[in-house]
């Protein structure tokens, strides 16, 4: 079984790498949509299987390819965790199906293909989430996930059916041609349905409640793919519907998306600084990053509606850059969290500590990826937040005297607050989880994880740094993925070059290194100072590892100051009332449920009679 | 070249400014006080000492002090001190400058937590809280200063100041000035927020983080604190009192700018020292109230920009 597990993993790596190559090819096709494959399932019906790669889907395929390759590589070593379950062979098969389903979502070219791919992605990911079903709480979280997903799918299908009603087709190409000529009201309904549907998948507040439950309990490389790529399918979908098809027709759409994004960014980063388990912190941080991406998309919608295609294009570019960098660092961090759980059998920060000296490779990888999460220069996360900052600042200056200016300033405030709050969660993860001394026996017994897991984490960490240094180059390729109407915005390339000058990140990195060298040279004395080791000072008492600060204590000041915000808003004000309404409605239907077979036969008879009557009168 | 000169100037001047503030405070307390050159002597003394490392420390402790100073040096290269026309790192962008400072903060927190000392943890928690509160205020104030002309870097802000009278749009400038001064007191760890001279465990913030350091590492961290302080002073002067900053790179105006920059820094140091001597330390959980006032000022400054 072990060899089967290895073979499957290698097949997966090959598949993911070829997806990556395919993505590069379609991105490099200079805006030409590549027609791929079509197959009619049932002639004369809309059941046609049709896929097509656009430059935009090429960009997302590259993301999927990179994260998928690393996940498969990581899975080889991670299989040891499931020795008793055939080294997780079923997990491998599920992972392969998951990657294929996501690739199909990015390439779908009609409603039938899209919905099939979307639903298989959801169902396969549900099965992967409940893979560790014997652990407490997993089944419940899985049900919440699948329920929310179905809610989202219902809204998506509604959006597609409305589009079909007006265009008479199920083809995405037709939608792209005709959707912008729909009546304004219908456009808004389509947009709202798509927004609700996609933001459920993306985990945007207040539709996020499933994400912090479902992402942490999945096996870690699955969490990496879910947080890194799956929630980006929603970003892809929203860009497709609202920008490529509907051309961002109305300004208030953008405002709604910006506000929801800012809410998500602040809320997600705040909660990620309060959670106690490594993977839950990362899950909330995904909500925060999705919020930032939605802010950028919202600004793109807003600017297009206000006839500023240049800033719409730049905002969309920064959304894609944010998505790309988030995929890299978040998947690396989830893999790091998985390695910690693999080694210590716990992910609770207060039970960890001292891992930096016991697992140096994993810890260094996590530290490097955390630098990207915190947007520290010159990492990838920094470049995308810098571009978002510049975009928001210029847009607010452009519309200074209208509500748009104030809205973007509010979004800027959200961005800044998010940046500082993210630092809290990063310091807790590394400072408490990896530094100082182990707080429990299981953390003290931690050993470095298998080689393939280490390699995967190391490559991921390198990529987070490289994507920062190469950001201007990446951006120049992202521009190719923009929709046709935005690609031609005058001055696009030159403006982006002024916002993110080529080689600036290399210069920042070099100057930091020169500074470090200078500081080292200044303090280097001719005689080498003696280094002696002593215990950390404890006011004279005997030191025990529990004396170091805990993660709970570290975030207590922030928690105390923002205590007023510590209300589970979404649960209390959205989900509980909604649940109450559903229950009340269903209870009122209980009157007709007598439990006698005779009554039900009567219902059947009455229904048939009614249908016959309708058929007769309606002349069908 | 000129940029490197500015960096070296800040690096060399920073300890003097620290010593100067100390001396002014001593005088105000009726003591004679040490000479302003005292910090340099102290660094030399520390450099000659042995290093003590905690048994629980990882390689982070060995590299972090050098790294923090390196980041602050990069910060110096982003901020114009003498002239607005010398090339700066990343064009002197606000965002890059503050990200570099955030990076230095991150490294300092890691350094503190690495020893496993509870005092460091306490200081880290408080420093994180202050970071959460100050970062939005600083960026919002900086944006408010340049919003009308889309000036989001220090040189372009200075150009706006040079071309128009900054006192012409008095309300916004005045609000930004006060908000940034309030933040400056927090960020440089001064009374009434933090007391740089105390080692009383329960009140320490920045001192608590570096309690375990000795010898070379302690010298570097003290120097880093001095550089950080000078950077915040220079930032405040660039945004609120840019009088005398050279617009060319000719030697004459540069010399004037140099003298004026030193003078303004010392003047601001005097103000800070007087404020410190006049105030008692604030309870930690009153600081959010103090900072929410600064945030309100920054928000009103933005609204003033939008309205005028």
For residue B199, what pLDDT is reported? 65
Residues 257-286 of B with CB under 8 A from A: 284-285
Q: A198: closest CA among A155, A162, A163, A261? A: A155
pLDDT digits (tens, 9 = 90+) for A266-302: 989 998 988 889 999 999 999 999 999 999 999 999 9
CA separation for the pair A617, B11 (Å, rounded): 92
CA separation for the pair A487, A480 (Å, rounded): 7
Q: Which chain A residue's Cα is nearest to B138?
A: A416
Contacting residues for B165 by C-beta, under 8 A, at least 6 apart:
none
Average of pLDDT values for A565-581? Answer: 78
A12, containing H or E segment: helix A2-27
Could you state, in order of their start, the residue ranges of all structural domains in chain A? 2-486, 570-618
Average of pLDDT values for B132-147? Answer: 88
Can you count the helices (H) and strands (E) in chain A?
Answer: 29, 3
Burial A93-110 (b: 16+ CB within 10 A, else e): ebbbbbbbbbbbbbbbbb
pLDDT digits (tens, 9 = 90+) for B70-118: 999 999 999 988 888 778 888 889 999 999 999 999 999 999 898 888 8
Residues 171-190 of B with CB under 8 A from A: none
Q: With contact defined as beta carbons under 8 Å apart, do A67 and A19 qualify? A: no
ipTM of the complex: 0.92
Interface with A, mutate which of B97, B103, B203 (most A CBs under 10 A): B103
For residue B188, what pLDDT is reported? 85
Cβ contact B58–A416 (<8 Å)? no
pLDDT digits (tens, 9 = 90+) for B216-227: 889 999 999 999
For residue B169, what pLDDT is reported? 63
Query: What whole-number percentage of chain A has pLDDT above 90?
Result: 38
For residue A383, what pLDDT is reported? 94
> Is a pLDDT exceeding 80 seen at residue B207?
no
Q: Which chain B residue's Cα is nearest to A404?
A: B306
Cβ contact A511–B77 (<8 Å)? yes
For residue A37, what pLDDT is reported? 74
Number of domain units in chain B: 1
pLDDT digits (tens, 9 = 90+) for A474-507: 998 888 888 877 777 788 888 888 888 888 889 8
For B100, the domain range is: 2-307
CA separation for the pair A318, A609 (Å, rounded): 60
pLDDT digits (tens, 9 = 90+) for B276-286: 888 888 888 88
Please list every residue in chain A whose beta carbon sits closer than 8 Å to the beta carbon of residue B44: none
CA separation for the pair A581, A596 (Å, rounded): 27
Q: With contact defined as beta carbons under 8 Å apart, do B228 and B101 qualify? A: yes
Q: What angle do CA A394, A400, A401 make, to 5 degrees?
A: 165
Of A397, A406, A548, the CB nearest to B121: A548
For residue A575, what pLDDT is reported? 81
Mean pLDDT of chain A: 87
Please list every residue in chain A whose beta carbon sits closer than 8 Å to the beta carbon of residue B40: none
Q: With contact defined as beta carbons under 8 Å apart, do A368 and A465 qualify? A: yes
For residue A301, what pLDDT is reported? 92
Q: Which chain B residue's Cα is nearest to A528?
A: B50
Give the tokens for residue B162. 């040079």
pLDDT digits (tens, 9 = 90+) for A84-132: 777 778 888 888 899 999 999 998 888 888 999 999 999 999 998 888 8
CA separation for the pair A352, A433 (Å, rounded): 5
Cβ contact A394–B150 (<8 Å)? yes
């Amino acid at each position: 079984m072990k060899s089967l597990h290895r073979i499957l993993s290698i097949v997966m790596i090959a598949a993911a790498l070829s997806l990556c190559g395919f993505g590069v090819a379609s991105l490099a096709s200079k805006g030409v949509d590549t027609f791929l494959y079509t197959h009619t399932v049932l002639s004369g019906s809309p059941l046609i299987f049709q896929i097509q790669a656009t430059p935009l889907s090429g960009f997302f395929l590259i993301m999927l390819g990179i994260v998928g390759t690393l996940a498969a590589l990581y899975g080889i070593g991670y299989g040891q965790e499931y020795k008793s379950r055939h080294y997780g062979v079923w997990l491998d098969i599920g992972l392969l199906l998951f990657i294929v389903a996501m690739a199909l979502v990015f390439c779908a070219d009609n409603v039938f293909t899209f919905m099939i791919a979307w639903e298989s992605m959801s169902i396969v990911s549900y099965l992967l989430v409940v893979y560790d079903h014997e652990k407490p709480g997993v089944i419940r979280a899985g049900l919440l996930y699948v329920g929310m997903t179905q809610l989202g799918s219902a809204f998506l299908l509604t959006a597609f059916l409305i589009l079909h009603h007006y265009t008479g087709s199920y083809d995405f190409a037709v939608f792209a041609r005709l959707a912008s000529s729909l009546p304004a009201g219908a456009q808004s309904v389509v947009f709202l349905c798509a927004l609700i549907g996609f933001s459920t998948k993306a985990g945007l507040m207040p539709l996020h409640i499933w994400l912090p439950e479902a992402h942490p309990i999945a096996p870690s490389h699955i969490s990496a793919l879910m947080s890194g790529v799956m929630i980006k399918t929603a970003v892809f979908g929203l860009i497709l519907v609202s920008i490529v098809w509907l051309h961002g027709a109305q300004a208030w759409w953008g405002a709604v998306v910006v506000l929801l994004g800012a809410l998500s960014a602040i809320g997600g980063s705040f909660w990620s600084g309060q959670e106690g388990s490594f993977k839950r912190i990362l899950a909330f941080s995904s909500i925060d990053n999705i919020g930032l991406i939605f802010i950028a998309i919202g600004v793109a919608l807003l600017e297009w509606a206000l006839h500023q295609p240049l800033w719409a294009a730049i905002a969309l570019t920064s959304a894609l850059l944010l998505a790309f960098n988030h995929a890299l660092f978040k998947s690396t961090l989830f893999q790091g969290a998985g390695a910690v759980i693999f080694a210590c059998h716990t992910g609770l920060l207060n039970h960890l500590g001292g891992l930096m000296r016991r697992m140096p490779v994993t810890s260094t990888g996590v530290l490097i990826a955390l630098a990207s999460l915190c947007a520290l220069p010159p990492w990838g996360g920094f470049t995308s937040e810098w571009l978002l900052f510049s975009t928001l600042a210029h847009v607010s200056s452009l519309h200074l005297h209208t509500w748009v200016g104030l809205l973007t300033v509010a979004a800027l405030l959200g961005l800044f607050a998010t940046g500082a709050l993210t630092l809290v969660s990063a310091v807790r993860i590394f400072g408490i989880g990896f530094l100082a001394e182990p707080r429990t026996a299981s953390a003290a017994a931690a050993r470095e994880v298998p080689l393939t897991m280490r390699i995967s984490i190391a490559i991921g960490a390198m990529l987070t740094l490289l994507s920062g240094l190469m950001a201007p180059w990446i951006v120049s390729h992202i521009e190719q993925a923009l929709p046709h109407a935005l690609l031609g915005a005058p001055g696009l390339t030159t403006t982006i070059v002024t916002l993110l000058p080529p080689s600036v990140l290399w210069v920042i990195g070099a100057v930091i290194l020169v500074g470090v060298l200078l500081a080292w040279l200044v303090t280097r004395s001719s005689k080498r100072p003696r280094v002696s080791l002593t215990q950390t000072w404890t006011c004279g008492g005997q030191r025990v590892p529990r004396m170091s600060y805990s993660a709970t204590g570290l975030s207590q000041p922030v928690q105390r100051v923002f205590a007023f915000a510590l209300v589970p808003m979404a649960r209390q004000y959205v989900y509980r009332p909604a649940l109450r309404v559903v229950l009340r409605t269903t209870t009122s239907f209980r009157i007709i449920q007598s439990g006698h077979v005779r009554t039900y036969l009567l219902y059947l008879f009455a229904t048939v009679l009614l249908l016959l009557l309708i058929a007769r009168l309606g002349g069908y | 070249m000129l940029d490197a000169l500015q960096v070296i100037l800040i690096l060399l001047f920073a300890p003097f400014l620290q010593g100067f503030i100390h001396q002014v405070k001593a005088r105000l307390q009726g003591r004679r006080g040490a000479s302003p050159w005292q910090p340099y002597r102290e660094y030399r003394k520390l450099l000659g000492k042995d290093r003590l490392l905690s048994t629980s420390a990882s390689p982070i402790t060995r590299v972090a002090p050098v790294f923090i100073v390196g980041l602050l040096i990069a910060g110096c290269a982003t901020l114009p001190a003498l002239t607005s026309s010398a090339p700066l790192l990343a064009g002197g962008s606000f965002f890059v400058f503050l990200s570099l400072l955030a990076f230095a903060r991150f490294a300092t927190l890691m350094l503190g937590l690495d020893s496993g000392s509870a005092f460091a943890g306490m200081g880290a928690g408080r420093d994180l809280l202050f970071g959460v509160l100050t970062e939005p205020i600083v960026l919002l104030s900086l944006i408010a200063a340049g919003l009308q002309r889309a000036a989001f870097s220090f040189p372009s802000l200075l150009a706006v100041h040079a071309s128009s009278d900054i006192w012409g749009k008095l309300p916004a400038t005045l609000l930004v000035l006060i908000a940034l001064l309030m933040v400056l007191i927090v960020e440089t760890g001064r009374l009434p927020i933090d007391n740089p001279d105390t080692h009383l465990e329960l009140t320490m913030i920045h001192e608590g983080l570096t309690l375990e350091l000795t010898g070379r590492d302690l010298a570097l961290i003290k120097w880093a604190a001095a550089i950080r302080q000078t950077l915040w002073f220079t930032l405040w002067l660039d945004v609120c009192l840019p009088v005398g900053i050279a617009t060319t790179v000719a030697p004459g105006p540069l010399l004037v700018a140099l003298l004026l920059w030193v003078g303004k820094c010392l003047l601001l140091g005097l103000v800070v020292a007087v404020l410190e001597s006049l105030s008692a330390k604030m309870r930690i959980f009153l600081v959010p109230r103090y900072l929410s006032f600064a945030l309100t000022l920054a928000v009103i400054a933005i609204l003033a920009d939008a309205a005028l």
